[in-house]
Structure 1
Amino acid sequence: MKKNILLLFVIVLFAVSNGVFAAISPAGGEYGIVIEGYDWGPAVSKVILSLDEPATTVNTDDYKVMVQRSDDCASIPAGQVLGSRTVIAGYVSDAEGTRLEEGDYATLVLAVAPNQPIGSPIQYSQAEGCRGNSWINYDMTIRDEANGKVWNQEVNRIMPIIDRFDLSGKFSDGKGINMSYASYVPEEADGKSPLIIWLHGGGEGGTDPSIPLIANRAANYASDEIQAIFDGAFVLVPQTPTRWMDSGEGSTSGQVDDIYFEAVKELVDYYISMHPNVDTDRIYVGGCSNGGYLTFKLLIEYPNFFAAAFPSALAYRGAYFTDAQVNRVKNIPIWFIHSEDDGTTVPDQTVLPVYNRLKEAGAPNVHLTYYDHVVDITGFFGGEGYHYPGHWSWIYSHANEARRDYDGSLVKLDGRPVSIMEWMAGQSK
């Protein structure tokens, strides 16, 4: 009880000191937000304010933006509950945030960074009932200091790229396994298009497939850049209600079967039956960590089905990779991504023995991009000097940045250096 009273006092004190009462203030103006995916996860990057009358300019110095993050289940660290957002630019726009010479809306561009969790509309939690990443309440109060107007009613959310996906997918296999899934259908093209399957990590399980798309930028496989490489590709993102490494009696890393691999294969078959324009000679599967495990499990169980694979932060243990399995998968094109300082899927126990066994068996088209650290690839936050957790090597997959093999040489396709997505687009059964 004392803890709750103290928290309430801190919230009220913070609100008073900043001139807003986000939780209890009377209804103000309406706003929309833009949520974008970044290498480290999602952030609210813009807020779009409905104006009382048309405008031609926006003075960003006039606006103060406050945030309150809350959830009934997820535990949010005290320092990440309340805070202010920095406005770095502003312009007149329409309701979707498109710039106009004159318009009825003002769009404020907000600073985002990997070390600013106050910008995130999701929260990772270990709490029972909401374990992993989940959406939280993201309440904003925006005040125009020039005239005292306040906006505190969210009426619209825009999520670029994610909005391209159908998030309504539901699938049940013959054994009663239920899964949600997100899917993207490319613009109509001549002939058939390949299928990219992405299997999320352990923190993205549940029943809301927007989480696997946004929590670590997997939606980028539907981006214009990557779609252009494949000349259009279907994207299928299944979601487990628990975790892919769930054996039914605990976790597996290859020593026993998980309970999902057959259901995922059934889902893929079903999806192909519903989309006859999928090129079944160009089906690609990848995933990170937990999803890296399942990627490899699917290769072992269905070696003639996939044209190529791209697992990152592989969670399949080399100790359980048998000689028979080596022979089953050695001829499948595979590009692994891993970081040497990964303390979760330790490379000496996972990717290195798996990769080495495949190479020793004569695998003709297997690659490993092996980083010292997972770094800021944008250069905005310190470049090579800024280190993300070593487990986050999927950043390089989603951004299509991996280019080098284990020995440091450039991976080539038909004699030309290629990125991981360019390489994959060139693989066919």
Structure 2
Amino acid sequence: MTPTAIRADLLDFVADPGLDDRASPAVRWRPDHWLLIDAHGRIAAVQPEAPGDDWHKVDHAGRLLLPGFIDSHVHAPQLDVIASWGTELLDWLNTYTFPAEAAYADPAVAQAGAERFLDALLAHGTTSAAVFATVHRVSADALLAGAQARGMRLITGKVLMDTHAPDNLRDDVVQAEGHCEALIARWHGQGRLAYAVTPRFAATSSEAQLAMAGRLLTRHPGLYLQTHVAENRAEVAWVAELFPQARSYLDVYARHGLLTERAVLAHGIWLDDVDRRALADAGAQIAFCPSSNLFLGSGLFGWAQARAAGVNVSLASDVGGGTALCQLRTLADGYKVQALAGQRVTAWALLHGATRGAAEALRLGHEIGRLEPGLLADVCVWDWAQGPVGQRRDALARGLHERVFAWLTLGDERHLVEARVAGVARHTRPDSA
């Protein structure tokens, strides 16, 4: 690619800003600067002055440039059931999710769904994600191939379910292990792709399947583990009945070797202090999914308690329980959830959890999440405001935090001007000139 320089207001983080410090020194604010991207798609420099004539210049003066958002928990096939009415988690799975996912046995459906999902991520400002496919091998193949074609950092794997699921969505231990091995051999570590061992949740995997998942992690160091934990009280009670020997829901996974530094556990609402210590000791992360938690009525995640225990926390959309792929909407809901839980979090805490914080929790801080020379140029340019209400609020903002918080609260995907993956523009708003 041609070396490219982008002019904009640059915002990222040099450290963890904490939850409630509006004046945090971890915020790096470089208004009206140039981000230089070399021919290999990496950030070459950040500087106040324009580079020479050998750089292709893109002038977004007066717009905001951030690292691309990282979505640490999202379900590709559930775009088909987003915004479905009326049930809590377990009913929602049976009523909406499982029928939608069954269609992905068809390679044509899986291919079209993967293309639609990946393009939608980019159109919402998300350049990297940890994604659930379906139980079908072809669904993971389609996602990984589509991400490779777009140069995206993607973590995914076929879902594991061999019990308490419809017949057309159950695998068995031997078949599932063979499919995982084939997918790992083909895709893991190829370019920017990584494989995640993906038991849907404890209730839909037998002891034998969970043990198999643990064997895969041991056999292939560097794999990710993604699943759900302690999302809903009825779910927690069900898991306790199914696994009476386990101390807690989280302990089901720990007993099978699934708690690792690359484990991404969605939700984690109904955990206790012992669970939080186990997560911290393992280096695992909780993907906080506020939009989904509100929509399904699951509960309020204790972010402050998780931080106090040393647990890594990232932000995630959890579409289709979540109601938007746009991380701005997720972050705004994150503020509301924490306010209900008695904790006022800053715009910095929220943005960090979807950029640098998520990258570090995924062990990808060397690649993405910051505007730092040497990292890949996964970056997005945003309008500060759209429409008379947003523009008026932006004009009246007192200080940087107030301005960013108003943008975060009022913004959505219509504010996105362009999304670049490794420097290449993969989404551009038609009216962005």
Q: TM-score, normalised by structure 2?
A: 0.33
Structure in which a larger fraction of residues adopt strand: 1
Larger radius of gyration: 1
Structure in which a larger fraction of residues adopt helix: 2
